Amino acid sequence: MKLKKIIWVTAVAATVVATVGSCGVKREPGTIYMPDMAYSRAYETNALLDSSMFTSSEPAAGHKIFYNRRPVPGTMERGEIAAYTLPNDSVGYRMSAGVVNPLGPLSKQDSAEAARLFNINCAICHGAKGAANGPLATSGKIGGVANLTLDMYVKMADGTMYHSIHYGKNNMGSYASQLSRKQRWQLVQYIRALQPKPAAATPVMASAKTDTAATAAKK
């Protein structure tokens, strides 16, 4: 009888302790598995980091927090133009013809900026008007400079022109490290402004149509 009473009292006491304990506010969650998943660390890009805790070396990543101040691969800045992913080979060059310029018509300010970029990066070879008469082209030191006003370049797709600026073509090197994606597409639009407009088809005069019809009727 005594043993049953002891067991009953112990069970009641345990229930009371558990009930009272569960009613309190839990400010300390105790041990957390992988706390970084619940509490992310936010750091300023140029802030000094404690070298005893952080490392930018991948081999040491298992012993310290790895942080190399670079964006996660595959991510892009808000408002940024999507990365150009076609390969730098004959297949990519051919496929580039299907890539559409993501920019709309340039504003007056953007047009002025595109002209500035062209004069800094392109005019030294292609000339201020794109006619392959820049200082380097006329010096005889560099050959094969493209005359961007020729019909073959007028008919060239925007994507193919961008491909050439992005990767380089023949004697021209890549400008991907000097110019942002937006700037490269702006240059494509500026080059279009330098090029002559495609000649419109000559309309058939109404009188010519009438004369032809009259001649056919007489026969």
Residue 62 confidence (pLDDT): 79
Domain coordinates of the chain in residue numbers?
Answer: 124-198
State the average pLDDT over residues 42-68: 80
pLDDT of residue 218: 56
Tens of pLDDT along 78-112?
878 888 999 999 999 999 999 999 999 999 999 99
Q: Distance between CA atoms of 132 and 148, rounded to whole angstroms?
A: 7
- Cα atoms in the Cβ-side hemisphere of radius 13 Å centred on 65: 15
Tell me what pLDDT residue 196 has: 92
Exposure letters 16-49 (e unless 16+ CB within 10 A, then b): eeeeeeeeeeeeeeeeeeeeeeeeeeeeeeeeee
More confident call, 129 vs 48:
129
Average pLDDT taken over every residue of the chain: 82
Q: Distances from the Cα of 114 to the Cαs of 86, 107, 154, 175, in angstroms?
A: 24, 10, 18, 14
Query: What is the three-state SS of 27-62?
Result: CCCCCCCCHHHCCCCCCCCCCCCCCCCEECCHHHCC
Residue pLDDT, tens place only, 109-140: 999 999 999 999 999 999 999 999 999 999 98
Reply yes or no on whether the pLDDT at 211 is more than 60: no
Per-residue model confidence as pLDDT tens digits over 130-173? 999 999 999 988 888 999 999 999 999 999 999 999 999 998 99
